[in-house]
């Protein structure tokens, strides 16, 4: 249990490639932080720097009050779960879990107690005598977690621990990690490329791209108030829709023109635009598929032609062609007229709109959210 502080952490590899740029983050005691981003964004490198497996090129790393830049991994009091699990193949499950404790010269009965306790939590007691080779992927995963929890470390690091599991097992293990977290209550840093894992597990999420932090926030914050188009597109499935549009000052307020539709903006949004002294500006409009709904054609709606309709059971994913732009709508099947419940035929003309309080406006050049 400890805070972890990263101050201006930077990683430059020998070949002059910078993997992580000025990473600043303060992780509170017992917080669950998720680093998320596409591959190559520097999230694993950051985690490995915290673990001490990569040198820190610049900046300061603190675990608790101790600066640990030059402290060996073994002396950092951290535990790590690897993507490949990295179980020692020549040791039994029991020995794998006891390894770190034996190195610490812990009394035998204490080791035994901790290993058995962890095994019970993870439901792997019956496999303690087996070698990792004789276990399934999910069981190996549990052993890897078990090896980390017997340590009772200050910080728990997990590097894409679920990415080698199949979809069903992944959902199950995700739930177990949430349970486990409540049980062992320590500081977690969790790396993943899966935004669902990030949203469901994290107290706060750090979204990274190309070595830069894009946004740090609670799942709710990054979902509702994405700082830029990358975050907006990365969080949420299906992806947020983006349209070209234009905000135009009209009288004391603003209205939004997009693909022939003219929409009102909320008071708050208009205040923000006014504060930036905008009279007329090209914008990118972002709206999540679940916030789009079908409507009678009017001045405030966009017209589109149905391309594909995917019946998901409780809802329909509707891919439509609006003025040459592919847009996805997520519509609860209960809101559909009965003749469309099974799917909407190809080529059907529809009209849709979205509520002004749920749309996002981005600067097309900087891609930044201009309503924040």
Partner 1 sequence: MRRSSMSKALVRRETISGYLFLLPSLIFFVGFVVYPMIMCVYTSFFDATMGKDRQDIFIGLQNYKDLFKDPAFLKALKNTLVIVIVSVPVTCAFSLWVSSAIYKMRGPIRSAFRCIFYLPVVTGSVAVTVVWKWMYNNYYGIFNYIGKGLGIIEKNINWLGDERFALGCIILILLTTSVGQPIVLYVSALGNVDNSLVEAAQVDGANDLQVFWKIKWPQIMPTTLYIMVITTINSFQCFALIQLLTSGGPNHSTDTIMYYIYYQAFKLYHYGYGNAMGVILAIIIAIFSAVQFKLAKADTSY
Summarize as ranges the residues that interact with partner 1 (CB under 8 A): 51-53, 72-75, 78-80, 82-84, 86-90, 99-100, 103-104, 131-133, 147, 151
Q: Which CB atom, from 160 or from 197, has the smaller least distance to partner 1?
A: 160
Q: How far is the CB of 163 from partner 1 (least distance, A)?
A: 14
Q: Which CB atom, from 44 or from 369, has the smaller least distance to partner 1?
A: 44
- How many Å apart are CA 32 and CA 14, to the nearest integer? 32
Q: Which CB atom, from 139 or from 258, has the smaller least distance to partner 1?
A: 139
- How many Å apart are CA 143 and CA 173, to the nearest integer? 12
Q: How far is the CB of 282 from partner 1 (least distance, A)?
A: 48
Q: How many CB atoms lie within 10 A of CB 74?
A: 11
77 in the Ramachandran plot: left (φ > 0), alpha (ψ -120 to 50) or beta? left
Q: How far is the CB of 224 from partner 1 (least distance, A)?
A: 37
Q: Which CB atom, from 11 or from 204, has the smaller least distance to partner 1?
A: 11
Q: How far is the CB of 118 from partner 1 (least distance, A)?
A: 14
Reported residue count of the chain is: 372
Q: How far is the CB of 178 from partner 1 (least distance, A)?
A: 23
- How many Å apart are CA 351 and CA 303, to the nearest integer? 4
Q: Which CB atom, from 88 or from 346, has the smaller least distance to partner 1?
A: 88
Structure tokens at 249: 């000052």
Q: Which CB atom, from 103 or from 312, has the smaller least distance to partner 1?
A: 103
30 in the Ramachandran plot: left (φ > 0), alpha (ψ -120 to 50) or beta? left
Determine phi and psi for 352, rounding to 5 degrees: -140, 160
Which DSSP state fits 92?
A: -
Q: How far is the CB of 116 from partner 1 (least distance, A)?
A: 19
Q: Are strands 32-36 and 187-192 parallel, antiparallel or unpaired?
A: parallel
Print burial letters for 127-158: b (CB count within 10 Å at least 16), e (below 16).
Answer: bbeebbeebeebbbbbbbbbbbbbbebbbbbb
Q: How far is the CB of 212 from partner 1 (least distance, A)?
A: 26
Q: Which CB atom, from 86 or from 300, has the smaller least distance to partner 1?
A: 86
């Amino acid at each position: 249990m400890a805070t972890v502080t990263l101050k201006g952490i930077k990683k430059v590899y020998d070949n002059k490639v910078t993997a992580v740029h000025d990473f600043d983050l303060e992780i509170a005691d017992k917080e669950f932080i998720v680093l998320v981003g596409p591959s190559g964004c520097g999230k694993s490198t950051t985690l490995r720097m915290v673990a001490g497996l990569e040198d820190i090129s610049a900046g300061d790393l603190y675990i608790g009050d101790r600066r640990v830049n030059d402290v060996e991994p073994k002396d950092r009091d951290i535990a790590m779960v690897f993507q490949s699990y990295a179980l020692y193949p020549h040791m039994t499950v029991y020995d794998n879990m006891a390894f770190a404790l034996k190195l610490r010269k812990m009394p035998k009965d204490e080791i035994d107690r901790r290993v058995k306790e962890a095994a019970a939590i993870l439901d792997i007691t019956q496999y303690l005598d087996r070698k990792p080779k004789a276990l399934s992927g999910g069981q190996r995963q549990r052993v890897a977690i078990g090896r980390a929890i017997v340590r009772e470390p200050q910080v728990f690091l997990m590097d894409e621990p679920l990415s080698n599991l199949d979809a069903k097992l992944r959902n199950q293990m995700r739930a177990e990690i949430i349970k486990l977290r409540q049980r062992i209550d320590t500081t977690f840093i969790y790396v993943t490329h899966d935004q669902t894992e990030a949203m469901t597990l994290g107290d706060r999420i750090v979204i990274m791209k190309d070595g830069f932090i894009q946004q740090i926030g609670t799942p709710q914050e990054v979902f509702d108030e994405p700082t830029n188009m990358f975050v907006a597109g990365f969080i949420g499935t299906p992806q947020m829709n983006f349209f070209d549009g234009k905000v135009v000052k009209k009288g004391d307020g603003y209205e939004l023109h997009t693909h022939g539709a003219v929409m009102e903006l909320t008071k708050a949004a208009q205040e923000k635009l006014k504060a930036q002294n905008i009279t007329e500006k090209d914008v990118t409009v972002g709206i999540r598929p679940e916030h789009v709904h079908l409507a009678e054609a009017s001045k405030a709606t966009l017209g589109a032609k149905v391309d594909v309709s995917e019946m998901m059971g409780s809802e329909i994913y509707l891919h439509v062609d609006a003025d040459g732009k592919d847009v996805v709508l997520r519509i609860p099947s209960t809101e559909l007229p009965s003749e469309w419940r099974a799917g909407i035929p190809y080529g059907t003309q529809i009209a849709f709109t979205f509520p002004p309080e749920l749309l996002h406006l981005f600067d097309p050049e900087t891609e930044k959210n201009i309503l924040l």
